[in-house]
Amino acid sequence: MAKRKKEVKPEEKKKEITHHIPVSGMFENWFIDYASYVILERAVPYLDDGLKPVQRRILHSMWEMEDGRYNKVANIIGNTMKYHPHGDASISDAIIQIGQRDLLIDTQGNWGNIYTGDSAAASRYIEARLTKFALDVVFNPKTTIWQQSYDGRNKEPVTLPVKFPLLLASGIEGIAVGLACKILPHNFCELIQGSIDVLRKKKTNILPDFATGGIADFSNYNEGMRGGRIKVRALIEKRDRKTLVIKQIPFGTTTQSLIDSILAANDKGKLKVKKVEDNTAAEVEIVLYLHPDSAEDSDKTIEALYAFTDCEVSISPNSCVIRDGKPVFMSVNEMLKESTFNTQELLKRELEIKLSELMEEWHFASLEKIFIENRIYRKMEDCETWEAVIKTIDKGLTPFKKQLKREVTETDIIRLTEIKIKRISKFDSFKADEHIKDLNAKMKEVKENLANLTQFTINYFKDLLKKYGKGRERRTQITEGAFELIEAKKVVINNTKLYVNREEGFAGYGLKKDEFVCECSDLDDIIAFSGDGKMMVGRIDEKKYFGKDIRHIAVFDKDDSKTVYNMIYRDGLKGNIMVKRFQVSGITRDKVYDLTKGNENSKVLFFSVTDVNTVPQVDVILKPRPKLRNLVVKVNFAEVGIKNRSAIGNIVTKFPVHKVQQTGKETVSVPLAVMEEISPAPSLKQKPDISKKKAEPVKTADKQVQIKLEI
């Protein structure tokens, strides 16, 4: 008979629904858990040992497999997977990175090349073992705190007892959820000396050192904190007049990426290089053969390499570590200080453990000597039970317990019963006394080291420097001051040409059928003045609109303090005639500036470009009017003050103007002026002295301009 389904009341259904968690709530909780996991277990190193979890598991696995011989990296990866919950790819990448730093892993085979960027061979072809430095500094099971592995089958270290600022020596980079870490590598010897300075209570200021060398500007390093920035340049040498050699490359680049950036800059016309050769092997050597056009100025080519290629890179550090289970931002000097005191604490624990072991050894050696010399073992012959044996031995030791440094336990007595007859028969009292004497000396030494822990730690660091410091000298050169700023516009070669269509108002390097203006680079800004008194500055392009009736166009230099613009304009359709001299400095690209008073139908009557010391002189010829006798107003720009572009200028005349012409009287030769006839020709009724006047040539620096008066 089928069971009847239990009916659920509507109230109970409603009660069940209220216990459901909304999707938004699940996302919030799960995302926080995921972010915490990525930060703590994958991307950010721990301050205690300077390692990410995958690196720690690799080193622990290699220590577990250590027998003095090389192991296949594939076997190391397989053994590490007992501890690491992710795939073999992450382990393989991590072990290659550790091996290439040449500090903890002794490599054999093709492990790639940090200079060229070549990848390592497959893990089944390369081998590795721990270095002597790693065995001395990184491992000590007695001071290691252990935890269960992810599957509960094995034990792994929470952190390794590293007695060295490993994090700062190797450097590390990682990206987590909402958090990033980038700690740059520092010099091995300088870190040890810095630790010694910390113990001596001296101020430290450690700076990065890169395996690829280069020249670095650390003026804005900011101790590795967020907001800091360093610049690293390649080391470029001149082999001869036509050849440059790159001997060292910036951190984060490879010879291939550097060459690609050079070829890209060459293709864009930023510099001229005839040929590039990569002769890199054990050391970097990139040979640049210069183009004949640029061989004469190799210094400018070097500056162009720094400005337009990866021969100069900027690096932004971000020192973030896990401290007490939380991510924190610390300066590299604070990290060094923490690491130094952590090393001191580890050495203290090692000394305390060693002292405890020596005391135990001394205790049993003394106990054994008493047990054998006083023949207490013979009293065991009459005992019939194990309890009787223990009591008999304890009773026999009672008169001598005052000679010992701690109480005799049952475990001690059991160890005495395990001494073999052969050892008892060959017991040498003199050797036993010498052994106890030696133990006393060792205990005294350990106690002295504990009493002078700071000096002991300093001596430890000095021994490290003496033993492993050779060949680890600084490779990256430190500049005395900040790098000299290289302006791209000043080092780029003229790689294009500027053309203009004055009537339509277009200019650019694509208008090859129109009027040629000058040679320039594709980084230059162009300044243009139109006939309606407008000005605009814009980056050169293939075709760009600057305004119709262009009177003057040229390459613009915002730092130019010598160029002066001289202008006479009409304010509106029938307004006053104004004169002004001005300079142009700070501008906004592609913004149209009005150089007049802003009234509609304003018109430029005269425009010229000179330097500060050159002053043009012009005649403003007025339209004939009744009772107007003087029809020529002479304007000497030397009497007009140089102001900024927004100045409206001074009034020349209020009468209508027939023509403006430059006279031959100027203090210095003046560039070609742009002049315009702005009114219809006068009638035959005008005065004969004007109508019959012959045209006179105007002398300028470039050529003569013929000014004609039409009747």
Catalytic site positions: 125
Tokens 């995302």 appear where?
31
Tokens 């216990």 appear where?
19
Strands 525-530 and 550-556: antiparallel
Instruction: Quickly list H helices, 150-231.
Output: 166-170, 188-199
Residue type, 632: V
Bridge partners (DSSP) of residue 635 are 618
Bridge partners (DSSP) of residue 60 are none
Strands 105-108 and 127-130: antiparallel
Sign of CA dihedral 58, 61, 65, 68: positive
Strands 71-72 and 105-108: unpaired
Q: What is the DSSP letter of 43?
A: I
Q: What is the DSSP letter of 118?
A: P
Tokens 């622990």 appear where?
60
Instruction: For residue 87, give the 3-state DSSP assignment.
Output: coil
E strand or H helix at 644: strand 642-644
The pair of structure tokens assigned to 26 is 């699940």
| Distance separating alpha carbons of residues 333 and 273, to the nearest angstrom | 43
Q: How far is CA 118 from the centre of its chain?
A: 22
Strands 577-583 and 563-570: antiparallel
Q: Say if residue 591 is exposed, middle or buried (CB neighbours under 10 Å; 0-12, 13-18, 19+).
A: exposed
Bridge partners (DSSP) of residue 507 are 500, 544
| Distance separating alpha carbons of residues 450 and 349, to the nearest angstrom | 10
| Distance separating alpha carbons of residues 607 and 671, to the nearest angstrom | 10
Residue 695 has φ and ψ, to the nearest 5°, of -70, 140
